[in-house]
Amino acid sequence: MQGSRTLLTASLSLCAVIGLWGVLDPASLLAIASAVVDRYFISRGWFVMLSVTVMLLFCLGLVFTRFGDIRLGADTDRPDYSTTTWIAMLFAAGMGVGLLFWAVAEPLTHFHFAQEALPAPLAAEQALLAANFNWGIHAWAIYGTTALAIAYFSYRRGTPMLVSAPVKNLFPGEAWAIAVGWFSDFMAIAAIAIGVGGSVAMGVFQVADGLSVLFGTPSASPLLVGTVFLLMIAAYIPPLLVDLGSGMARLSNLAMALAIGLVIYTIVLGPSEYLMNSIIGGIGNYVSVVIPRGLETFTFFDDAVSKWFQDWTLTYMVWWIAWGPFVGVFVARISKGRTIREFVLGVLIGPTLFSTIWFGAFGGIGIYEALEGRGELLAMTQTNVERMTFALLERLPLATLTTLATVLAAFLFIVTSVVSAAFVLGTFSTGGDPNPSARVRVIWGGILGVLGAAMILSGSMQAVKTLIALGALPFVFITVLLLACLVRALMLDARKEPSHADR
């Protein structure tokens, strides 16, 4: 109890200090964050890429072994949610608003960079590949490994849903395990809070720019951004006062339905033949290089390419690690009753396939225009990335309706993320209480709001990405520790249990 109280106090204090620092002096916070992150990426970028690739190979390996038959729960347990609802919930928690924000901006930003050194067709192919890789199966391997470790120890060994649980369970009473466990929970809280704070900022930028499009203004004013921020807080505070129940499933399903509707609309009313070729070609290109690309560190390229790799791929990998404990606990909670094989295939394949379709459609239109000599969207990568998704929708019929749908989807994605994160943070900071008090949840909701405000005041999406990376750096090593604990537990339990054939 004393340890939980200390953890709650320490984590709240750290997040409050970072949030207030960002609000009062965002420039100095950003300068320090950039220096630390840049140094880490230069010295340890190889370790990040190696770690996430090992996680992917581990998850895929489980599918083809007898461990895939193990059920997360008792052997008689069955899933609480349908597969469709389950995938929608984990997708909404794991990415959501980010895909809406970067749908057009990221592929075109990569294209703008690549065309300086490559022929335009090859630059287009590599741009789409980079976006698919950054949002693809490696990200979900990070989520899957973290979630599987937490779910396995919780449902098969009866531990609380904490990052510290695996190491404490395997090494009970060991002083070093207690210390490492406490630090793991502490850093998990910091990574979650800063990561979700960044998503709050991203969601506010997205919604504010969508509203400015509807209002006919050239850009989102500070007043509009502030108003959207306050409305977002007002929207997520009430759900924190009630239990986390089926309402989250309904909100996730609605947000996902809007996203699916948008991508279908884009394919049907855009240059359909071109986009379908873009999607299918993008999937094929991605699958053909996904494993070796995970070990690529661009060692022998010039400084510009190295900086691009650090600013995008490395930042994304650390970003997913920042969200790992939050998405891990959330996915673990909604995955009871599934076999490890079902879990891995659902977590890795479903969201990755949707992401490649998403970028193939939205990024495909942007690249199509650039290759046709219409450079308006391409120019926006240097001036206003926040508006690019809406600028693309303006080129298609029913622009007002689709802009409203995008704004609503972004709003729903960020509300569901914040509410889920506040519950998870409450669970972590109270020693594993699966239903933390409303007071603790609201406090965390407020802290996430302060961190979101700090990210907004940082002034750019690159700054937001840097701050998220800063919060996640220590958790890179903790994620590897979780993987090692899961492997050890699976091997120990396999020796104790009879095989399925002997039962």
Checking if the pLDDT of 344 tops 50, the result is yes
Residue 503 lies in a domain: no
Q: Cα–Cα distances in Å, from 443 out to 80, 180, 419, 421, 471?
A: 29, 26, 12, 12, 20
Rg, Å, the chain Cα set: 22
- What the block records as the tokens of 45 is 């970028």
Residue 341 lies in a domain: yes
Q: How confident is the model at residue 379 (pLDDT cuts 50, 70, 90)?
A: confident
Checking if the pLDDT of 432 tops 80, the result is no
Residue 422 lies in a domain: yes
Domain extent, residue 69, equals 2-497
Residue 380 lies in a domain: yes
Instruction: Tell me 415's DSSP state.
Output: H
- What the block records as the tokens of 465 is 């990405």
Among candidate residues 154, 152, 178, the one with its CA nearest the CA of residue 339: 152
pLDDT tens sequence across 96-137: 677 888 889 999 999 999 998 899 999 999 999 999 999 999
- What the block records as the tokens of 41 is 């990426």
What was the pLDDT predicted at 55? Answer: 95
Backbone phi, then psi, for 73, in 5-degree steps? 135, -165
Residue 393 lies in a domain: yes
State the CATH number of the domain containing residue 219: 1.20.1740
Share of the chain above pLDDT 90, in %: 31
Could you tell me if residue 170 is left (phi over 0), alpha (psi between -120 and 50 degrees) or otherwise beta? alpha
Residue 20 lies in a domain: yes
Checking if the pLDDT of 284 tops 50, the result is yes
What was the pLDDT predicted at 499? Answer: 47
Residue 502 lies in a domain: no
Report the number of distinct structural domains present in the chain: 1
- Write down the pTM of the prediction: 0.87
pLDDT tens sequence across 127-175: 999 999 999 999 999 999 999 999 999 999 999 888 889 999 999 988 8
Could you tell me if residue 398 is left (phi over 0), alpha (psi between -120 and 50 degrees) or otherwise beta? left
Q: 50-64, 205-219, 249-263, 399-413 — which one is most confidently predicted on average?
A: 50-64
Q: Which amino acid would we find at residue 373? A: G
Checking if the pLDDT of 465 tops 80, the result is no
Burial of 241 (0-12, 13-18, 19+ CB in 10 A): exposed
- Average pLDDT of span 461-476: 72
Residue 143 lies in a domain: yes
